[in-house]
Homo-oligomer: A and B are copies of this chain.
C-alpha cells in the first residue's frame, strides 16, 4: 500500500519512526510538523519571483524568514533589503554555487521552503527538500522529463512530506468566482474548458543584460533575470512549456485527481517565427547578429487537447512568441451555459451566458455582475490584504494557503498529485509534437486514489 500524502499521516509516520529508531535532527523537524502559530521559511531562488514571495511573507505575522539560497549576489542583496525594510532580521545566506541550497535544507530550524528557481531546478530541489523533511512550495513550470513527476510523487508518498504547487492563477478573482459558480452548479454539468498562457514574452526572453525586461536581444549568460535561463527552453524544446496557469484553474473546476482524472492528450505546434523575427527587427539586432542565426525549436503557438475520465475536454494554448495582448483565454462551459475570459482578469471583460438566467436568449452578457455576485469567500474576506500582492492580488492567496495549511497541519489544496499531473503535460506534449500529434496517455499519479479523494480546493474562506 502506498502511503497517503496527508500531513496528518506524515506526523503519524514521523512519530512512529522516532519511536522506532530514535531521535535525529531530521526527526526533530518532522515532529515539529504539528499545529503551530508560525512557519519558519527558507527561500531557494531570490530572483524577482522569490522576492515577490518574500514581499508577501513579510506582510504576514505568522512567518519567520530564516534563510535564502541563491548564487546570484545581487539578487541576494535585494532580498535582504526587503527583509530590512520590513524590519525583520537578516536571513542566513547560502550563496556558494548552485548546490549550496542543500546546506540551507540541512538546517534544523526550517519548516518549509519556497522554490522559485529556474525551471530545471524545481524537482531536483523539491526532492532534496523532502529528503531533509522540509516542506517544499514549488513554483510553476512544466517538467523537464516525465520521470521527474513520478520522482516527486514517490518521494512525497514515501517520506510523508507534503508538497504544494504554487499555482497562483487558481486564485485569480474572476477564476475563483467562476469556480464558485461551478461548485454551485450555475453552469450545469461541465463539458468543455479552455485555458492557456497567451502572453507576449519576447521582451522577457531577451534583454541587454542590464534592465531586465527590455532593450536587447541577448539571452543566457549575457542576459539578466529570466532571459538567463528561460529562453533556452524556446531554443531546445517544442511543447506546452508552461501549462499550469491555464490548466490549474480548470483542473480544479473539474475535480481532477479528486473523482476525476486527466487521461490523454495530443499536442500540435505551429512553425517557429516570432523569436527570430524579434531578433532581426530589433534595433540592437538585425540579420547579422549571431542570435539571428539560431534555429528556435519552440513553435510559436502550441495547442494541446486533453481528455478526462469524466468526459470533459480541455484545450490549452501556449502562445508566448508573438505580438498579442495578455490573455489566459479561459472558457468554462457546461450544460447550462458558459463563461469566456478575454482579458487579464478584469471582471468586466469577456462574455457569459447562462440559460434561463441571461436576459436575452442566445446573447452574451457582460460577466461582471455574475463575477461580483459569486465573488469567492476568500476574496471577500481578504480583499484588502490581497490588494497589494502580486499579479492583481492572486499571489496573496497562494502564499496564504501554503502558510495556513502548514500551520494547521492539513493537506495542501494544490498538492503533489496536481504538481505531477500539471508538470507532466510538458514532456507529454513534447513527445506528442515529436510524433506529429500522436495521442499520449497521461499517467495516473495518484495510482487510483483519485477515485476516493474529495475536492478540497477553495472550499472555505480560510485558505
Contact = CB atoms under 8 A, between A and B. Distances in A.
A303 B307 contact: no
Contacts of A306: 268
Contacts of A335: 273-274, 277, 300, 322-323
A449 interface: no
A439 interface: yes
Contacts of A188: 273, 277
A191 B436 contact: no
B337 A342 contact: no
A338 B311 contact: no
Contacts of A438: 438-439
Interface string A309-338: 011110100010011111000000111111
A353 interface: yes
Given A266-B266, A335-B277, A192 B300 contact: yes
Interface string A414-440: 000000000000000000000111110
Nearest to A277: B335
Number of identical monomers bound together in the oligomeric complex: 2
A463 interface: no
A189 interface: yes
Contacts of A354: 323
A353 B188 CA distance: 34
A254 to B, nearest CB: 11
B362 A301 contact: no
Contact of A312 (B271, B274, B324, B362): B271
13 contacts: A191-B300, A191-B322, A268-B313, A271-B312, A322-B334, A324-B333, A325-B351, A325-B362, A325-B363, A340-B342, A342-B342, A342-B364, A439-B439
Interface of A: 188-189, 191-192, 200, 264, 266, 268-271, 273-274, 277, 299-301, 303, 305-307, 310-313, 315, 319, 322-326, 333-338, 340, 342, 351, 353-355, 362-364, 435-439
